[in-house]
């Protein structure tokens, strides 16, 4: 067994093991990040659907108030069109 060939193969083995560990760490972190992103997107979708429901409800309330204001507008127009009586004359 030649001692010089042993010194070359030990750094090579260390380099291969280091690359393997690096690749496995990268793949593990990538999967972890994907699962975290899926959880984040799911929570964002839930929040957006809640906001959408709330805005729809607010729109219905605004339509109701708009109808009430329109009715009051008509009543004011009728009152303004009647001749006014002045007191004492």
Residue 87 has pLDDT above 90, yes or no: no
Enter the pTM of the model. Answer: 0.46
Which contiguous run of DSSP H or E holds residue 20?
A: helix 3-81
One DSSP character per residue, 26-85 reads HHHHHHHHHHHHHHHHHHHHHHHHHHHHHHHHHHHHHHHHHHHHHHHHHHHHHHHHSPPP
- The arithmetic mean of pLDDT across residues 2-28, rounded, is 81
Tell me: the pLDDT tens digits for 31-50? 888 888 889 999 999 999 99
Supply the mean pLDDT for the chain.
84
Residue 22 has pLDDT above 70, yes or no: yes
């Amino acid at each position: 067994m030649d001692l010089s060939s042993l010194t070359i193969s030990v750094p090579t083995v260390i380099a291969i093991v280091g690359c393997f560990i690096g690749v496995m760490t990268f793949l593990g972190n990538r999967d972890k990040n994907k699962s975290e992103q899926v959880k984040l997107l799911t929570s964002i979708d839930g929040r957006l659907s809640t906001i959408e429901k709330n805005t729809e409800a607010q729109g219905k309330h605004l339509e109701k108030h708009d109808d009430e204001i329109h009715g009051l507008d008509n009543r004011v127009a009728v009152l303004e069109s009647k001749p006014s009586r002045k007191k004492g004359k």
